[in-house]
C-alpha cells in the first residue's frame, strides 16, 4: 500500500469516529457494567460517581457533615453563669445541665445554685435609708429551647484544637427562682400554692427579709422569661461547649410585680455527648 493510500485510509477512519452517529452514542452516558458484574454486585446500577454526588449536595445541604449532633440521645454537663440585674449586687451561678436534641430543636433543663454578694456601691447604699430590688441567694431552675439557625464545620485557633461542628442558635427560656428558706411557718397547702404563684407571697418576703443583703429589697418575681443567642460547639471526641448571652423579657412583670425590668446572663455550658 502506497503512503498516499495509507494516509487516506487514516483520514476516513477519523471521519467515521467523529460522525454525529458516534456522538449520539456517547450522549447516552457511560456503558453499563457487564452482565457478569451486575449479577455479582446488585447495587452497581444504583452507584453514582463521587463528582455527581458533590454537585448534588453543595449549596443544598442543611445538616452537619462531620459531627451529627442530632443523632445523640442526650447531653449532660456543667454550667456556670454570671447574672447582671438592674441593681448593684453581684450574682453568679453554677450547676448541672441536661440537653435533649431533636432534628430541629434542642431542649435544656438545668439546676443552678446562685450566690449573691455586695459590691462597693451596694455597701454604700446600705448606709442610707434607700434600698434596691434584688434576689437573695437561691436555687434557680432553667428550661431553655434552642433553634439552630446556621451551622458548619469550623477549625479552631490555636490549631491543636480539633475541628468542630459550630451551630449558631436562638434561645428562649423560663427561669424559676426557688428559695428553700422562704417557707418557714407556712402550711403544706400554702407552700403548694406559693410554688405555683408567679409572685412571692408576703410571708415568703418576710422570711427572706432577715437573709437579704443590707441594701436589698427582696424582689417579688418568681418566674422570668429570657431570650438570646449562642454558639454550640460539638467536637468529634464527644464533647460539647455552649456559650451564650440571654436577656430578660419583662412580660411577666405585670403578673408578679417584679421591679427588675432589665436583667441578663452570660452562660457557659460544657459536657459530654451520648
Pairing of strands 75-85, 216-218: unpaired
C-alpha pair distances (Å), 76 with each of 110, 112, 157, 229, 271: 10, 14, 25, 20, 6
Query: Is pLDDT larger for residue 40 or for residue 218?
Result: 218
- What's the domain count of the chain? 2
Q: Tell me, what's the pLDDT at 61?
A: 43
Reported as a single tens digit per residue, the pLDDT across 216-267 is 999 999 999 999 999 999 998 899 999 999 999 999 998 999 999 999 999 9
CA 95 – CA 245 distance, rounded (Å): 17
Is pLDDT of 163 > 90? no
- Pair 90, 212 in one domain: yes
| CATH number for the domain harbouring residue 80 | 2.40.160.20
Q: Has residue 3 got a pLDDT over 60?
A: no
Whole-number Å distance between alpha carbons of 89 and 231: 28
Same-domain check for residues 156 and 253: yes
Of the candidates 103, 4, 83, the one whose C-alpha atom is nearest the C-alpha of residue 246 is 83
Q: How many CB atoms lie within 10 A of CB 224?
A: 24
pLDDT of residue 36: 54
pLDDT tens-place string over residues 97-155:
999 999 889 999 999 999 999 999 999 999 999 999 999 999 999 999 999 999 988 88
- Write out the residue range of the structural domain in which residue 19 sits: 3-47
Residue 44 pLDDT grade (very low, low, confident, very high; cuts 50, 70, 90): confident
- In a domain, residue 59? The reply is no
* Same structural domain, 88 and 194: yes
Task: Name the band, by pLDDT with cuts 50, 70 and 90, for residue 161.
Answer: confident
Q: Which three three-digit cell numbers place residue 39?
A: 449479577
> What is the rounded end-to-end Cα distance, in angstroms, of the chain?
79
Predicted confidence at residue 21, as pLDDT, reads 46
Could you tell me what percent of the chain has a pLDDT over 90?
66
Residue 16 above 80 pLDDT? Answer: no
Q: Do 81 and 92 meet the contact criterion of CB atoms below 8 Å apart?
A: yes
Selected residue with higher pLDDT from 60 and 12: 12
The verdict on residue 201 lying in a domain is yes
13 belongs to a structural domain: yes
Residues 189 and 140 in one domain: yes
Closest CA to 221 of 257, 196, 246: 257
Q: Residue 56 domain-assigned? A: no
Question: How do strand 216-218 and strand 132-134 relate by DSSP bridges?
Answer: parallel
The confidence score (pLDDT) of residue 48 equals: 76
Let me know if residue 86 belongs to a domain: yes
Tell me, yes or no, whether 60 lies in a domain: no
Note the pLDDT of residue 94: 98
Share of the chain above pLDDT 70, in %: 80
Q: Does residue 31 carry a pLDDT above 90? A: no
Residues 113 and 27 grouped into a single domain: no
The overall average pLDDT reported for the chain is: 85
**Per-residue model confidence (pLDDT) at position 252:** 92
Q: What is the pTM of this model?
A: 0.75
Give 190-222 pLDDT, tens digit per residue: 999 999 999 999 999 999 998 999 999 999 999
- At residue 143's C-alpha, the angle toward residues 67 and 267, to 5°, is 65
203 part of a folded domain: yes
| Of the listed ranges 8-17, 182-191, 259-268, the one predicted with least confidence | 8-17
Q: Which of 252, 223, 266, 197 is nearest to 135 (CA)?
A: 223
Amino acid at each position: 500500500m502506497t503512503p498516499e493510500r495509507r494516509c487516506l485510509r487514516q483520514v476516513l477512519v477519523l471521519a467515521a469516529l467523529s460522525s454525529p452517529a458516534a456522538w449520539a452514542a456517547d450522549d447516552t452516558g457511560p456503558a453499563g457494567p457487564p452482565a457478569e458484574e451486575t449479577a455479582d454486585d446488585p447495587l452497581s446500577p444504583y452507584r453514582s460517581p463521587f463528582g455527581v454526588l458533590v454537585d448534588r449536595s453543595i449549596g443544598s445541604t442543611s445538616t452537619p457533615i462531620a459531627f451529627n449532633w442530632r443523632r445523640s440521645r442526650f447531653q449532660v454537663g456543667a454550667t456556670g453563669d454570671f447574672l447582671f440585674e438592674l441593681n448593684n449586687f453581684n450574682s453568679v451561678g453554677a450547676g448541672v445541665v441536661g440537653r435533649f436534641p431533636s432534628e430541629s430543636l434542642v431542649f435544656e433543663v438545668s439546676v443552678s445554685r446562685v450566690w449573691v454578694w455586695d459590691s462597693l456601691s451596694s455597701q454604700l447604699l446600705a448606709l442610707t435609708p434607700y434600698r434596691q430590688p434584688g434576689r437573695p441567694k437561691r436555687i434557680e431552675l432553667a428550661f431553655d429551647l434552642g433553634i439552630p439557625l446556621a451551622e458548619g464545620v469550623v477549625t479552631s485557633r490555636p490549631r491543636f484544637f480539633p475541628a468542630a461542628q459550630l451551630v449558631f442558635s436562638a434561645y428562649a427560656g423560663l427561669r424559676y427562682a426557688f428559695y428553700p428558706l422562704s417557707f418557714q411557718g407556712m402550711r403544706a397547702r400554702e407552700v403548694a400554692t406559693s410554688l405555683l404563684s408567679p409572685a412571692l407571697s408576703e410571708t415568703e418576703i418576710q422570711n427572706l427579709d432577715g437573709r437579704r443583703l443590707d441594701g436589698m429589697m427582696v424582689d417579688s418575681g418568681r418566674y422570668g422569661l429570657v431570650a438570646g443567642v449562642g454558639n454550640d460547639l460539638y467536637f468529634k471526641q464527644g464533647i460539647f461547649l455552649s456559650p451564650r448571652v440571654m436577656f430578660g423579657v419583662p412580660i411577666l412583670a405585670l403578673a408578679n410585680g417584679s421591679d427588675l425590668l432589665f436583667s441578663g446572663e452570660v452562660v457557659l455550658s460544657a459536657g459530654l455527648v451520648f
